[in-house]
Amino acid sequence: MQKNLNNAARAERSIELSATAIWAVLADLEALAEWAPGIDGATVTSELKSGVGAVRSVSTAQFGKIEHHITDWEKDSLFGYTTDDSGPFLCTNTRYEIAPNDTGCLVTVVLAFELKPEAMTVEQAQGVLSKGLDATLQALELHARIPATQA
């Protein structure tokens, strides 16, 4: 099936922490439920435990189980994954870009998607996703600020 990922939602947040601190949270694939809104659990299900090609199964109350297939993994700068058949989406591609700046880093997340027929309008999806991505970046920052001994 050819994927049409021309639709996307985006959020960004300037965070007064190092790219390394943000990366540490994103790269801990099984800790997603500790900080991400709406996530009840996450387990790596592939033999590969990290990096491109790893797969994690994520539990959500809203959409049930979702598989994240890791597609981008560049330490301290880029993390991404795809999903198939998740709620109203035929497929998604989510990418977190971490760019160092004078005060810490700028984290940008872009979620490209293809909707299932008649699930909702693109504008509705973008609105819901943008709010969710903003909340996710806020939660990412808060979790990254917790000292490792308290996490």
| pLDDT, tens only, 60-70 | 988 889 999 99
**CA atoms lying within 13 Å on the CB side of residue 78:** 7
Q: Does residue 2 belong to any structural domain of this protein?
A: no
What CATH number did the domain enclosing 31 receive? 3.30.530.20
Residue 148: which pLDDT band, with cuts at 50, 70 and 90? low
Shortest CA distance to 120 belongs to which of 109, 132, 128, 108? 128
| pLDDT, tens only, 8-37 | 999 999 999 999 999 999 999 999 999 999
Structure tokens at 135: 């909340």
Q: Does residue 133 belong to any structural domain of this protein?
A: yes
Q: Does residue 33 belong to any structural domain of this protein?
A: yes
Three-state secondary structure call for residue 58: strand
Q: Does residue 110 belong to any structural domain of this protein?
A: yes
Q: Does residue 151 belong to any structural domain of this protein?
A: no
Q: Does residue 150 belong to any structural domain of this protein?
A: no
Number of domains present in the structure of the chain: 1
Structure tokens at 78: 């880029």
Domain containing 52: what range? Answer: 7-145
Shortest CA distance to 37 belongs to which of 58, 7, 52? 58
| pLDDT, tens only, 71-120 | 999 999 999 999 999 889 999 999 999 999 999 999 999 999 999 998 89
Q: Does residue 129 belong to any structural domain of this protein?
A: yes
pLDDT of residue 5: 73
Q: Does residue 67 belong to any structural domain of this protein?
A: yes
